[in-house]
Structure 1
């Protein structure tokens, strides 16, 4: 069995240059928690890096307010929770995707649940719309994931080019060169990193689509221009036509049309096996699906966690090596695994249960999942020296959970 947690490479780790409030004021140090080989399933969390708050970037982002500004997060509803573009609310409060204290908390929560890394939903390097903001948050996630011993991969949204063509920022004839530049940036900045996910000994590049760039030749030319051609995976029903190396699944409401249980698992298993050779398929587990769109997609009921449990069991019991968890925080579509006011830590606990079944006693306890949020609270309060909080983060990242708990409880005894 592989250990869930990894040894600390040396004394300093994350957010070493911080002010009294725990916010990064200097570049992060190079010291990091090491990446160890994975035995068993590789669990990767799909992550949305597109949230903005006034405290961090001077505005509410559209993924909290709605793209038409139809919600006001500064106000609360009858339930006492912020008015946001979602049916659900993060337990740690509304956050900015560039906040290093929040990223640290989220990655530690994932790690304590047994998740190996993140798949960032990325719109590339184009200076259009909110793509620079998403890119900034993605770069911060890449950096901190490396410090915490968490893997990182990209799911590129080629709808970037669809939007740029509509706005006149790009012509159809320029898409190939723009895609080539984007792939060259990835090949230089992220693919060579020790914590970047590799499939069949190549860096994994996922694409949510293709949505706009549908010509296989365009993708082939862009990918083959990189020093090391990535393993290219698209949505499961498009991968062959796109000339990709494999496909990944997403949300499949048909599996739960007649309710859950064994029959739902059988239907989902059949969908996944129909994609193709298991060595070329990344399967997905999700907690449910309930969006806020004007024209909504079919609902997948959360069923108090049973949908998460059933879909994850199919993935863990089947022949697939890599499992995508859909998603950490897409609040607009209601697929958030992150702890929420509505579901608490239920989905993370289910992932942890699955890991415990696979790996045994090396998995943390359910109570341990609460420690990163308590660390985040201490950072937000701003009363404790950042150096002490950094040390607690290192303890959690390296698996010294009992010592981390002792220190947290000594700093906030009323919360213990």
Structure 2
């Protein structure tokens, strides 16, 4: 009897060992699994791009232990935390994940997954160039980190060039002229971004937007700036500013200003005459400059109206039949144009973009994407759990949200 019991015990232990090995092999295979990004299926053929600010800096990330101007302006201190756990920031609205560093991998993962599942095709990244003046270098480094993550998520991107700051480069003694400074920036874009497979191309040329022109306001200057760029980009200026670039401009894009009538006028009177025209949609506009001591208020406000403004501007774009649409913006909290999930509006804005895009996925993953971010932070430094979260990220980017949610449920 004792002999039989021993044999049975040995047999059971063998089965247990075999099952453990199989589970270990399964976990090993999952850990080693690579995930290629898969595009979201949607019915709206309009190319939907999100204007994105890479200028945020947190105390933890900065080399000088500061939060950065775009969270503080002149008089706010995010180290001050209220009874509800909210930090004091220079904005009327509060990001759902709290104030952050734009180069943080976990933040970028969260933002890009939100956009992907909302049906956004790519990002238009506000960019100050390559020089180390003020916070321009930090914005460039954050943009580089963003571009790497974009490739993993499977979204496109293009640059929105801020020529307004070129004078600062010259005044700092880093370039002899504003044109030569701009040519240095273009050389960087040509070598590092324009050739990327996921860089946005229109008419087989890399797309480049300019927020202006503001400093370079003659066609000759832009001809010089683009003289070494091949092919010359599909270059879009702000609405009604393309004459400053002359034949170098391929068209214009609309922006947010005063009220929605300006958008209607652009669609009716300008868009039909442009070689390339890009529309815009936004949830509202309410700047914080005066309250934050960051300068004078812009002087006008477009109320959010519980999402009605975003609904209206999306409808205007649809009725105008725009082929390319810029959403203004993902995260300009200083001007209150953010579509990023906030405590005030929840996920309502990304849900509206998803509906406009005609995304076919019926799985509601926005809260689950937030949960992934929360777990990244909670288990920071835990390699085993981070590897599991990497698999969840992989399921999200490869459009297997059900599997991602199943793994996330293991943490409940």
Same fold (TM over 0.5): yes
What is the aligned residue count? 367
Instruction: Summarize deviations over 1:52-108 as a string: whole Å, max 9, x none.
Output: 112222321110010x3x110010357652111111110011110010011011000
- C-alpha separation in 2, matches of 1:254 and 1:176: 35
Stretch deviating more after TM superposition (123-132 or 219-228): 219-228
8 A Cα contact 1:235 1:250, kept in partner: yes
Q: Which residue of 2 aligns with 1:379?
A: 376
Query: What's the C-alpha RMSD, in Å, of the aligned pairs?
Result: 2.3
8 A Cα contact 2:340 2:349, kept in partner: yes
Higher-Rg member (1/2): 2
Matched, 1:174 2:177: yes
**3-state SS of paired residue (1:120):** strand
Matched, 1:33 2:37: yes
Map 1:217-256; keep pairs closer than 5 Å: 217-243=220-246, 244-255=249-260
Instruction: Summarize deviations over 1:131-176 as a string: whole Å, max 9, x none.
Output: 00000000001111011100011001012213334x44356x5222
Q: Which residue of 1 aligns with 2:269?
A: 274
- C-alpha separation in 2, matches of 1:281 and 1:209: 15
Instruction: Summarize deviations over 1:353-412 as a string: whole Å, max 9, x none.
Output: 1122xx5xx2344x211221111111111155222111111111111011111111112x
Q: Which residue of 2 aligns with 1:363?
A: 361
Shift in Å at residue 336 of structure 1?
A: 0.5
8 A Cα contact 1:199 1:231, kept in partner: yes
Q: Which residue of 2 aligns with 1:98?
A: 103
> TM-score, normalised on structure 2?
0.84
1:64 to 41, 46, 71: 71
Shift in Å at residue 269 of structure 1?
A: 2.6
**3-state SS of paired residue (1:210):** coil
Matched, 1:289 2:285: yes
8 A Cα contact 1:98 1:140, kept in partner: yes
Shift in Å at residue 214 of structure 1?
A: 1.0
Q: Which residue of 2 aligns with 1:21?
A: none
Stretch deviating more after TM superposition (382-391 or 344-353): 382-391
Q: Provide structure 2 residue ranges, at least 5 long, that are not aligned to the other structure.
A: 1-30, 291-295
Instruction: Summarize deviations over 1:98-135 as a string: whole Å, max 9, x none.
Output: 10011011000000111111111000001111100000
- C-alpha separation in 1, matches of 2:41 and 2:188: 26
Shift in Å at residue 211 of structure 1?
A: 1.3
1:127 to 114, 128, 132: 132
Matched, 1:341 2:343: yes
Q: Provide structure 1 residue ranges, at least 5 long, that are not aligned to the other structure.
A: 1-15, 18-28, 256-263
Map 1:88-167; keep pairs closer than 5 Å: 88-165=93-170, 167=171
Stretch deviating more after TM superposition (310-319 or 334-343): 310-319
**3-state SS of paired residue (2:98):** coil
